[in-house]
């Protein structure tokens, strides 16, 4: 089945980015047009477009938008990329995609006209989008082998089609299992404070006819104890060389609960989410977000005035707690530097 496009480029080199405004889901499915680099930056920053792979695609398209007024201008490219890098710090796909756009520019800047350079940048952004779509399908196929019919599966945050160019990472595993005729029941953690699990994951699963039950984050232990969860599958924002994984705040707690209950804990992510320059997760920058997301979530004050709030958007799950990494190149287990390097450097 085809889903609404999370984001897409509309038109030629002078076109624009159209994306689902995810802040309005699940009650409103509306698109937003980003015609300036500032609008792309804002869409990433406030999570209109979110999820590591989708952020990477949006940033690549943001470069094209930003270069429209100065095609072929190296100083402008540096400025646009530096600006987009400040939108969010944790998902490495953002930095990966911007580096790729800069590399592409360098490859052609001498040989091509400004207009042709611009067309080349647009082509690269579309290639990044297309590759992401294909990587998600491959992740689904690799991961579905780990799912058995009848499984109860817990997921945290949203790692579905809305978080990627299409189809998702963690949810791709479940979509593929469903397409193979396996019967599943998914438990979606609500995912405080921005409720990506309740608003987005539940919406996507419902669209595809996969039975889903939303639970508050603090109910996961009880649901595991009741024997309703056979596997856990989550996405990732950045995976260090040893497999330590940054993902939405609360993921680390879920991994500890999984270990305590003897439940396999899987992380699904494309190779663009690995940061092999970091030996461990200790070096992963963790985004700190506005306390207002906690104190005034969705329109109502829930914390007294002047009480301090801590609001990290991500945490890091140590690799020892991860049963396997599911990538487009295959399943990596045990999760350690040696196995990760060997799978990621293999040709597909
Ligand atoms: O703050 P968000 O909504 O961008 O966080 C998203 C996540 O943590 C996802 O699990 C992760 O990016 C993987 S998306 C395929």
Span 222-248, pLDDT tens digits? 999 999 999 999 999 999 999 999 999
pLDDT in the model for residue 347: 72
- The active-site residue, picked from 166, 189, 217, 237, is 237
Q: How many angstroms does the Cα of residue 224 sit away from the middle of ligand 1?
A: 23
> Would the pLDDT of 348 be above 70?
no
Catalytic site residue 237?
A: yes
**pLDDT tens across 146-189, in order?**
999 999 999 999 999 999 999 999 999 999 999 999 999 999 99
Residue ranges covered by each domain of the chain? 7-137, 141-344
Q: State the average pLDDT for the chain.
A: 97
Among 47, 89, 157, residue to substitute to test ligand 1 (most atoms within 8 Å of Cβ): 157
Predicted confidence at residue 257, as pLDDT, reads 98
Per-residue model confidence as pLDDT tens digits over 253-298: 999 999 999 999 999 999 999 999 999 999 999 999 999 999 999 9
Query: H helices within the chain, ranges in order?
Result: 37-45, 52-67, 74-85, 92-108, 114-144, 170-179, 196, 202-207, 220-225, 251-261, 292-295, 337-344
Reported as a pLDDT band with limits 50, 70 and 90, residue 1 is low
From ligand 1's centre to the CA of 160, what distance in Å?
9
Q: Is 250 in the pocket of ligand 1 (CB under 6 A)?
A: no
In this structure, are strands 330-332 and 324-327 parallel, antiparallel, or unpaired?
antiparallel
Confidence check: pLDDT of 125 > 70: yes
**Residue % of the chain over a pLDDT of 70:** 99
Q: Is the CB of 50 under 6 A from ligand 1?
A: yes
- What is the arithmetic mean of pLDDT over 70-80? 98
Write out the two tokens for 245: 């994984």
* CB 140 within 8 Å of CB 172: yes
Q: Is the CB of 164 under 6 A from ligand 1?
A: yes
Residue 221's pLDDT is 98
Q: Are 204 and 196 in contact (CB under 8 A)?
A: no
CATH, range 141-344 = 3.40.50.10470
pLDDT exceeds 80 at position 96: yes
Please tell me the CATH code under which domain 7-137 is placed: 1.20.120.420
DSSP letter string, 191-231: -TTTTHIIIIIHHHHHHTT--EEEE-GGGHHHHHHTT--SE
Residue 43 has a pLDDT of: 98
Q: Give me the mean pLDDT over the 311-334 stretch.
A: 98
pLDDT band at 346 (very low <50, low <70, confident <90, very high): confident
Q: In Å, what is the CA distance from 59 to each residue of 11, 42, 44, 50, 240?
A: 17, 11, 8, 11, 22
Which pLDDT tens digit goes with each residue over 23-34?
Answer: 999 999 999 999
């Amino acid at each position: 089945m085809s889903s609404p496009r999370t984001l897409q480029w509309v038109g030629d080199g002078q076109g624009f980015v159209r994306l689902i405004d995810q802040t309005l889901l699940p009650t409103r499915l509306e698109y937003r047009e980003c015609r300036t680099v500032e609008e792309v930056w804002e869409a990433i920053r406030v999570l209109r477009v979110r999820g590591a792979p989708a952020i990477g695609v949006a940033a690549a398209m943001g470069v094209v938008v930003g270069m429209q007024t100065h095609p072929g201008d190296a100083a402008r490219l540096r400025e646009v990329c530096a600006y987009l890098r400040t939108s969010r710090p944790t998902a490495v796909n953002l930095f990966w995609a911007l580096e790729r756009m800069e590399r592409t520019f360098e490859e052609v800047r001498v040989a091509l006209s400004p207009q042709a350079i611009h067309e080349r940048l647009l082509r690269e952004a579309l290639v990044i989008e297309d590759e992401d779509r294909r990587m998600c399908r491959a992740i689904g196929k690799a991961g579905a082998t780990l799912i058995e019919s009848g499984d109860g599966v817990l997921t945290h945050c949203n790692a579905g089609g809305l978080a990627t160019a299409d189809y998702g990472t963690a949810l791709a595993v479940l979509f593929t299992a469903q397409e193979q005729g396996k019967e599943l029941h998914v438990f979606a953690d609500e995912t405080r404070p921005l409720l990506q699990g309740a608003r987005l994951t539940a919406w996507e699963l419902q669209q595809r006819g996969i039975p889903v039950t939303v639970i508050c984050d603090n109910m996961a232990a009880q649901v595991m104890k009741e024997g309703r969860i056979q596997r856990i599958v989550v996405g990732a924002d950045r995976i260090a060389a040893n497999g330590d994984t940054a993902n939405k705040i609360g993921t680390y707690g879920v991994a500890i609960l999984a270990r305590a209950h003897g439940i396999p804990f899987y992380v699904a992510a494309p190779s663009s989410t690995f940061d092999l320059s970091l030996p461990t997760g200790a070096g992963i920058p963790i985004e700190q977000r506005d306390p207002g997301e906690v104190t005034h979530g969705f329109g109502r004050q829930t914390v007294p005035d002047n009480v301090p709030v801590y609001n990290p958007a991500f945490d890091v799950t140590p690799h020892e707690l991860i049963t396997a990494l599911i990538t487009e190149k295959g399943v990596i287990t045990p999760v350690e530097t040696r196995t990760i390097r060997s799978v990621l450097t293999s040709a597909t």
